Amino acid sequence: MKRQWMSRVSTALVACMLIALLAPAAALAAAVFTQVTYSSNGTVTGTVYYDNGETLDETVTINVYGWDGAKIGVVEATYDREADGVRYYNFAGIPGDLTDNRQPIKLTEAVTGVTESVYAQHYHIHGELFLNGASKAGTTLTISGNGYREVVPYGTVTNNVYGASSVTDSVYANRLLYQFAAPAGTYTITAENGRYTASQTVAASQEGRDIGKVGNEYYWLVPAGNMTMQQPRGGGGPVGGGGGGGGISDSVSGGTITVYGDTVSANSLKQAFEGRDTVTILIPGDLLKLPAETLHEIWENNPRATIIIVSDIASYSLPLGVLKLKDQADALGTSLSSLTLEVSMKAVSSSTADAVAAAANKVGAELIGTPVEFGLRVVTSSGQSRDIRNFGNTYVERSLFLDEAVSANRSTGVVYHPATESVLFVPSVFETADGKSTAVLKRNTNSIYAVVTSDKQFNDVPDNHYAKDDITKLANKLVVFGTSDTAFETNRNVTRAEFAALLVRSLAIEPQSGRTSFSDVVAGSWYEPEVKAATEAGLIYGYPDGTFRPNAVISRQELAAMVVRAMAYAGKGVELTDAQVRAQLAGFTDANQVGGWAVEEMAVAIQSRIVYGMNATTLAPHDNATRAQAAAMISRYLGSIGFID
């Protein structure tokens, strides 16, 4: 998930660019800016038009000034069309580098006696407050967030920017109009009047918004949605009001839905998915509610349909098929029409973050950023709910946005288990841009996820060892561990139980409690949960006599076969024809020694560059596998399926 889908925009009002529009002096026309957008690469585009019927040149010049008043360049607005006496000019591009934090810019025309201007990156947030029995007098609205706070009592209007007022009592007898001007950011708007309260969260950080005139200024417009005052229930404390009968407030632009409250509408979902497999939903907070019936209909029409939910701290990519919404409705004894899907991505509390950091320290790692808890549940109209925790063997992507750059070789995503106070490896890759990394974690269950980094070195693994890089990388990612803090013992053999546990860990599969079907897997042994999990995932098979032989040393062909099964479990399986199998094995003189049960899997491992011969012509399928060989194979297979960088 690229961070550009929800750029982190600076709220500082420093170093702003003053763009003065100079029309020909003879015209003295009043210009209006419209459709101004500010892209993540720093490019400003838009239209300026004149409606006084004057004849203007084919181009008008936009002079660009820095915050210190020095001229830094020129951009031309080119004539596009004339309609009903209005001449339209388009412009695109700003000279110089505007990508640094996307600071606010101001577009101002230099015509004598005209003060109209545009504050691109300054937002005008507006909506309606339904009083629901509360009086106008005494009602106060507050906007707060990102170090910004403004309190506006009813009746306040300041330069048409801050206000809480009614227009005509015959129309607005039971509601107020409210408006705020604020820098980019995410805000909470609250309304209070005695025991009546309402609140909602609003994001003012999106690209491509409409420009609108407020007073003598133009702002990026943010429709905040409506709020309804509520009285406290049952004598308790005040409760927040929904936005306009449920808080539905969103807008659609192509395949992107911007949500201003916490709910996306059915119509917006249908519109965004027209002709698309994937839709991105930008949310201002940590919760999103979606109509289950609409999602199910979209999935029935397009089994590839996926939603990507993006907040300021994380993103979540959900193929609609993994939700099994019809099954969820049946389990709750209700219909899809009464079901709502709730998706949450919440930063954990400081105490939980401390617990995750302590768990990371136990394994020699350091926590980076704030852990995030991902959750899914369906809720009926009567309030019944059911969590969706597991997606089978479908690995869904969730991204954590970090405020620093990290090394992909030294860092990994982890899942935190509160019951055991431990962190475990999660398949993850990293993207870094502008000094900040995004960790893309891949797992088939919901939980608390975080990013950790470490710098492990083993004294007995020399720099020229063929598996040095693989061992170090997997150790830093908490996939393999040394026999001590400083030793790895590369040439030590690996048992079948040890490799089963390693495979389970590499796939981030939860160990399973309970007995296995193998007669020689001892109840309560350290490996029993891992062997059971590996068996249920189809990674390991036993022998015809019903045994698993957990303490037997694993062979190279067994190693290869189990790794290929792990690839298949992760959805990256490879099938070869008989001719392709023969072609992969043809160069090895001992290929006839590969067990019949392992021939195809060995061929897949060779083709996928997971297994190499002991030399150019020898596979040695029955040789015992070493810890170094096991680490190398695990590293290669995880890299081949995109589970590590």
pLDDT at residue number 242: 33
CA-based R_g, the chain, Å: 30
Instruction: Name the strand (E) or helix (H) holding 31.
Output: strand 31-38
Could you identify the residue written with the tokens 């027209």? 274
Q: Among 262, 290, 278, which residue's Cα sits nearest to residue 346?
A: 262
Least confident of 5-14, 96-105, 261-270, 422-431: 5-14
Name the band, by pLDDT with cuts 50, 70 and 90, for residue 149: confident
Parent domain of 188: 125-209+223-228
In contact, 361 and 353? CB cutoff 8 Å: no
- Tell me: do 419 and 492 sit in the same domain: no
The SS3 assignment for 641 reads coil
**Span 402-409, average pLDDT:** 93
* Helix, strand and coil in the chain, % to nearest 5: 20, 35, 45
Q: In whole angstroms, what is the distance from residue 535 CA to residue 514 CA?
A: 12
Residues 498 and 560 in one domain: yes
181 vs 122: CA distance, rounded Å: 7
Q: 448: Cβ–Cβ under 8 A, 6 or more apart, which residues?
A: 348, 352, 356, 371, 372, 373, 374, 415, 416, 418
The answer on pLDDT for 252 being more than 60 is: yes
324 occurs within a structural domain: yes
| Residue 82 in this model has a pLDDT that exceeds 80 | no
Distance between CA atoms of residues 11 and 3, nearest Å = 17
Give the torsion sign (CA, 201, 202, 203, 204). Answer: negative
- pLDDT value of position 416: 97
- Give the chain's count of helices (H) and strands (E): 11, 33
On whether residue 235 sits in a domain, the answer given is no
The per-residue pLDDT for 434 is: 80
pLDDT on residue 46: 65
Yes or no: say if 21 and 105 are a contact pair by the CB < 8 Å rule. no
Q: What is the pLDDT of residues 508-559, one digit of tens each?
A: 998 888 888 898 999 999 999 999 999 999 999 888 999 999 999 999 999 9
Q: Are residues 274 and 421 in the same domain?
A: yes
pLDDT of residue 193: 76
| Residue 284: pLDDT over 50 | yes
Q: Over 50: is that where the pLDDT of 172 sits?
A: no
Residues 205 and 335 in one domain: no
Is there a domain that residue 236 lies in? no
Say what the alpha-carbon torsion angle 79, 84, 86, 89 is, to the nearest 10 degrees: -30
User: Is there a single domain that holds both residue 281 and residue 376?
Assistant: yes
**What is the DSSP pairing of strand 140-145 with strand 196-204?**
unpaired
Longest CA pairwise span in the chain (Å) = 99
Which tokens go with 623?
């040789």
**What pLDDT shows up at residue 175?**
74
Average pLDDT of 224-235? Answer: 61
Looking up residue 385, the CATH number of its domain turns out to be 2.60.220
Mark which of 419, 453, 487 sits at the end of a domain. Answer: 453
Q: How far is CA 423 from CA 48, 119, 417, 475, 515, in A?
A: 56, 46, 6, 14, 25
**Confidence band (pLDDT; 50, 70, 90) for 62?**
low
Q: Among positive and negative, which fits the CA dihedral 572, 576, 582, 586? A: negative
Is the separation of the CB atoms in 502 and 475 below 8 Å?
no
Neighbours of 10 (CB within 10 A): 17
Q: And the tokens for 541?
A: 């098979």
CB 447 within 8 A of CB 374: yes
User: Would 333 be classed as within a structural domain?
Assistant: yes
Q: What was the pLDDT predicted at 246?
A: 39
Percent of the chain surpassing pLDDT 70: 73
Q: Is the entire prediction scored with pTM above 0.85?
A: no
pLDDT confidence of 478, banded at 50, 70, 90?
very high
Residue 236 has pLDDT above 50, yes or no: no
Asked if 413 contacts 356 with a C-beta cutoff of 8 angstroms, the reply is no
Total structural domains in the chain? 4
Q: Kindly state whether residue 479 falls inside one of the protein's structural domains.
A: yes
Out of 45-54, 74-83, 309-318, least confident range:
45-54
Percent of the chain with pLDDT over 90: 50
Q: Is 171 exposed, middle or buried (0-12, 13-18, 19+ CB in 10 A)?
A: exposed
Q: Which range (10-19, 42-51, 146-155, 362-371) has the least confidence? A: 10-19
d(CA 344, CA 246): 17
Which amino acid, residue 174?
A: N
CA separation for the pair 441, 418 (Å, rounded): 19
Average pLDDT over residues 454-483: 94
Identify any residues that bridge with 40 across adjacent strands, giving them in sequence order.
Answer: none
Query: Which value, to the nearest 10 degrees, does the dihedral of the CA atoms of residues 24, 35, 244, 285 take?
Result: -120
Task: Write out pLDDT tens, residues 438-447.
Answer: 999 999 999 9
388 and 480 housed in the same domain:
no
Residues 262, 250 contacting (CB under 8 angstroms): no
CB proximity list for 605: less than 8 A, separation 6 or greater: 560, 561, 563, 564, 611, 633
CA distance 45 to 31: 16
Q: Which residue has the higher pLDDT, 92 or 368?
A: 368
- Is pLDDT at 426 greater than 60 in this prediction? yes
> In the predicted model, is pLDDT for residue 248 greater than 90?
no
Show which of 177, 198, 228 is a domain's final residue. Answer: 228
- Write the pLDDT tens digit of every residue in 109-141: 433 333 334 444 467 788 888 777 677 777 888
429 lies in the same domain as 558: no
Beta strands at 422-426 and 140-145: parallel, antiparallel or unpaired: unpaired
Tell me: do 85 and 158 sit in the same domain. no
For residue 237, being part of any structural domain is answered with no
Residue 122: its pLDDT value, please?
62
Q: What is the mean pLDDT of residues 323-333?
A: 95
User: Does 490 map to a domain?
Assistant: yes
pLDDT at 13 over 60: no
Mean pLDDT of 621-626: 92
Confidence grade of residue 459 (pLDDT, cut at 50, 70, 90): very high
**What pLDDT band is residue 32 in, cutting at 50, 70 and 90?**
low
Q: Write out pLDDT tens, residues 344-380.
A: 999 999 999 999 999 999 999 999 999 999 999 999 9
The length of the chain is: 645
Average of pLDDT values for 328-353? 95
- Burial of 275 by CB count in 10 Å (0-12 exposed, 13-18 middle, 19+ buried)? exposed
Do 142 and 283 fall into the same domain?
no
Please indicate, yes or no, if residue 430 is contained in any of the structural domains.
yes
Residues 380 and 265 grouped into a single domain? yes
How much is the pLDDT for 629? 92
Distance between CA 219 and CA 230 in Å, rounded?
Answer: 31
What is the distance between the alpha carbons of residues 551 and 531, in angstroms, rounded to a whole number?
Answer: 12
User: Which one of 115, 137, 171 terminates a domain?
Assistant: 115
Check whether residue 393 and residue 261 sit in a common domain: yes
The C-alpha atoms of residue 378 and residue 370 are separated, in whole angstroms, by 26
Q: Choose between 244 and 535: higher pLDDT.
A: 535
Whether 205 and 7 have beta carbons less than 8 Å apart is answered as: yes
Per the CB < 8 A criterion, the answer to whether 607 and 573 are in contact is no
pLDDT per position as a tens digit, 174-211: 677 888 777 777 888 888 876 677 888 888 765 445 65
Both 506 and 609 in one domain: the answer is: yes
CA proximity to 395, closest of 529, 507, 535, 288: 507
**Residue pointed to by tokens 């209700």:** 334
Whether the predicted pLDDT of 51 surpasses 70: no
Name residue 479's amino acid: V
Indicate whether 614 pLDDT > 50: yes
| Per-residue burial over 378-410, b = 16 or more CB atoms within 10 Å of its CB, e = otherwise | bbbeeeeebebeebeeebbbbbbbbeeebebbb
Tokens of 136: 């106008």
- Six-digit token string for 76: 């031309």
Q: Report pLDDT for 339.
A: 95
Q: What's the rounded mean pLDDT across residues 397-402? A: 95
Give the domain CATH number at 194: 2.60.40
The predicted pLDDT at position 189 comes to 87
What is the average pLDDT value for the chain, to the nearest integer?
79
Q: 591 or 46: whose pLDDT is higher?
A: 591
User: Encoding tokens for residue 519?
Assistant: 């007669």
